[in-house]
Amino acid sequence: MTSVSAATGIVAQDVCKSFGDHLVLDKVSLTIAEGTILALLGPNGAGKTTMVRILSTLIPADSGSMRVAGHDVVTDPDGVRAVIGVTGQFSAVDNLLTGAENLQLMADLRHLDRGTGRRRVAELLEQFDLADAAHKLLSTYSGGMRRRLDLAMTLVDRPRVIFLDEPTTGLDPRSRRTMWQIIRELARTGVTVLLTTQHLDEADHLADRIAVLDQGRIVAEGTPAELKSRIPGGHVRLHFADANLLHSASELLRVPAPNRDQLVLQVPADGTVDSLRALLDELHEAGISVERFTLHTPDLDDVFFAVTGSHVTAQLHTHPAPRAPEGALLS
C-alpha cells in the first residue's frame, strides 16, 4: 500500500483475467486515493468493464490482490459490497416499479430503518430532479431520467466507493453535464470514484487521475495535465492560397509539406503569443501571405494516440481534433 489514504480507497495489484484463452486483463495495477476520481480510459474491449466487474465482486479475477475501502475483494466480498455502489453500463433498474419504489427497494435491501429509508428516498428524488416522476412507472422515463435514477439507487446507503461504468453513454449533452456535476459533487464529499469511459473529454473534465487501458494493459497513468505534458508542444497549421506559397513557406521554415493537395503546412509551436508572432513576422518579411491559421494545443486525443498508437478511438470522440504529426508524438 502506497499511502494511508489509499488504504481506504481502491488498491489493485497485478490483476489478471482471461476468458478462455483470451487474456482480458494483463497485470493491471491501480491505486485510487480516498475521495478522488480515477478515470479508466480505453476503447471498446480494452477490459474496462471486466476490471469494474472484478473490483465490484461480480466476477473473480484469475490472480492479483485487490482491496476496496480496506476490504479484501477475494476473502471479504460482503465487506466490499456493504460499502460500494455500482452503476453499470446497462441500466440496473426495475422497469415494473416506479422511481420511488426502486429507491425504496434499495433502502430496504440496505436494511435502513423505515424512517431513515423514507427520508433518504425523498432526498434523492429531490436531488436528482425526479420528484415529479417519483410515482410514475419507469416505462415513462427518458434515458436521462433512468440514468439519474440508476445512480440515485447506487447512492441510497451513501457508499464510500462507487464504480461508474460508462455513466454517460447514450445521454444527451445536457444530461451528460448534469451527470458530471453529480459525480464531481460526490468526490467533493469524500466518495472514491472509479469511472470508466471511452470519452477523453469526460476523463479530462472529471478525473483527478487517468489510467489508459489498452488490450488489457495500463499503457499510461497520471493526472490529465501530466499526460498532456508528455506530448511535446502543439502545432500551427498554416493554410495557403496556392502551391507556390506553400512551397516557399516550406523552404523558409524548413518544414516538409506532407500533402501538396491540401495547401496546408504543419509547424511545431508551443502556443505562446511571442513564438506565434515571430513565426508570422518571418513569413510576412519573406512576402509569403498566409490565408488563415489554426492553433492546435495537445489534448487527450493526442495522448491516447501516442500511448496506444491507435486511431480507432478517435472516431469515438465528440469533436474530432486535428492530429499532431507522427514525429511530434511521444515515442
Partner 1 sequence: MTTLAYTLSDSRVMLRRNLKHQLRYPSMTVMLIGLPVVLLLLFVYVFGGQLGAGLGVHEGRSAYLDYVVPGLLLVTVASAIQGTSIMVAMDMTGGIIDRFRTMAIARASVLTGHVLGSLIQTLIAIAVLFGVAFGLGFRSAAGPLDWLAAVGIVALFAFALIWLAVALGLAAKSVETASNTPMILFLLVFLSSGFVSTATMPAGLRQFAEYQPFTPVADTVRGLLTGTAIGDSAIAAIAWSIGIAVVAYLWAIRLYNRRRAAEPM
Q: Which is nearer to partner 1, 146 or 209 (CB)?
A: 146
> E strands along the chain, which residues?
10-19, 22-32, 37-41, 63-68, 71-72, 84-87, 161-165, 192-197, 209-214, 217-222, 234-239, 264-269, 292-296
Q: Which is nearer to partner 1, 78 or 285 (CB)?
A: 78
Q: Which is nearer to partner 1, 108 or 129 (CB)?
A: 108
Contact criterion met (CB below 8 Å) for 199 and 10: no
Q: Which is nearer to partner 1, 1 or 109 (CB)?
A: 109
Least Å distance, CB 79 to partner 1, is 8
Least Å distance, CB 90 to partner 1, is 4
Question: Would you list the DSSP string of 8-75?
Answer: GSEEEEEEEEEETTEEEEEEEEEEE-TT-EEEEE--TTSSHHHHHHHHTTSS--SEEEEEETTEETTT
Least Å distance, CB 140 to partner 1, is 13
Distance, CA of 104 to CA of 118 (rounded, Å): 7
Q: Which is nearer to partner 1, 101 or 208 (CB)?
A: 101
Return left, alpha or beta for 222; rule: phi > 0 is left, psi -120 to 50 is alpha, else beta.
left
Least Å distance, CB 77 to partner 1, is 9
Q: Which residues bind partner 1 (CB under 8 A)?
A: 19, 22, 24, 45, 49-50, 56-60, 78-79, 81-82, 84-86, 88, 90-97, 101, 105-106, 108-111, 137, 153-154
Least Å distance, CB 78 to partner 1, is 5
Least Å distance, CB 81 to partner 1, is 4
Least Å distance, CB 62 to partner 1, is 12
Q: Which is nearer to partner 1, 24 or 238 (CB)?
A: 24
Distance, CA of 42 to CA of 195 (rounded, Å): 11
Distance, CA of 24 to CA of 9 (rounded, Å): 24
Q: Which is nearer to partner 1, 93 or 203 (CB)?
A: 93
> Which residues fall within 8 angstroms of residue 1, CB to CB, at 6 or more apart?
7, 11, 67
According to DSSP, the residues that pair with 63 across neighbouring strands are 16
